[in-house]
Amino acid sequence: MARDKDPMTDAPKAADGKEKTTDQRIAKAIARAGLCSRREAERWIAEGRVVVNGARIESPALSVGPDDRVEVDGKPLPAPEPPRLWRYHKPRGLVTTARDERGRATVFDNLPERLPRVISVGRLDLNSEGLLLLTNDGELARRLELPSTGWIRRYRARVQGRAIDPDALARLADGITVDGVSYGPIRAAVETQQSSNAWLTIALQEGKNREVRRVLEHLGYPVNRLIRTAYGPFQLGHLAAGAVEEVSPRILREQLGAVKKVTPGTGGTAKAKPRPVKPGQGKRALGKKGPARPKTGAPGGTKGAPKRGANRRPG
């Protein structure tokens, strides 16, 4: 029997296993076309940038179907393509936004020209580096950002401090409130101590804005380097700084199907039902070689560096 929903799109499926063509909210339709996230689509609608059947709309409380004509900024809404996902090693010094009002270099300005229009799954701030997931599907990005997936975000953080208190780190497992903001459970441990700096491993599920930096600074350990090493089952591995590698559709489908089987807060990594995999294929797609162990200096090497000026902006 076919599953009720396609794990790639979360859309209803017919008896023959194909995705049904049904009406959907206008913001979701725009996100599925890969122009932006659903939240950003709602903002575009409020700004008067969306026209449906010749009429400009001001509210996202509208459903559209395959026979409706949708235009964004005067251009027809492109047909949604199959969802795709890429692992990207974000270098330091890039902002994760389509357009920066201060004129700083962005992630999307530095992607290879071969990539289609993509958006990011969550963000990494200017001085953070490591794994950033990219997708051509705004609705998929939204699904992967939700804490309900049960996926754990893992980091390595270099902090200032000669004597790190392991008990203070252990208490983070109960959550903490900093400046009125409540953060959920965080698992932190000392990896290595290097003179006046220490490397910590961090695992969390919510991923609020600048969460790792704010929590560790609150404990008296300012962060001077932060690397995301994993996002759920997808790992940074040995992906070179600036490089991009696509996750195979089969593995993406398996992992999205596994999302529904994970109970939030019970461990973190979604695991799909084992299937035969060609030698090296699954490990390469997921980045299973394990997180890189960079030295205390800046990431070195230019292998796999993207072309500048590609200007592949989402929206």
Q: How far is CA 271 from the centre of its chain?
A: 18
17 vs 249: CA distance, rounded Å: 17
Domain boundaries 85-150+232-286, corresponding CATH code: 3.30.70.580
Please write the tens of the pLDDT for every residue from 247-290. 999 999 998 876 554 433 444 433 333 333 344 444 444 554 44
What mean pLDDT is predicted for residues 194-223? 93
CATH of 1-80 given 3.30.429.10, 3.40.50.970, 3.10.290.10, 3.40.50.2300: 3.10.290.10
Please confirm, yes or no, whether 125 is among the known catalytic residues: yes
Taking residues 221-244, report their average pLDDT.
Answer: 96
Q: Which residue has the higher pLDDT, 303 or 190?
A: 190
Residues 153-225: name the CATH superfamily. Answer: Alpha-L RNA-binding motif (3.30.70.1560)
Domains 1-80 and 85-150+232-286 share a fold: no
pLDDT digits (tens, 9 = 90+) for 3-25: 445 555 555 444 444 445 578 89
- The pLDDT tens digits for 120-155 are 999 999 999 999 999 998 888 888 988 888 899 999
What is the residue extent of each domain of the chain? Answer: 1-80, 85-150+232-286, 153-225
The pLDDT score that the predictor gives to residue 7 is 53
Catalytic residue among 6, 23, 125, 174: 125
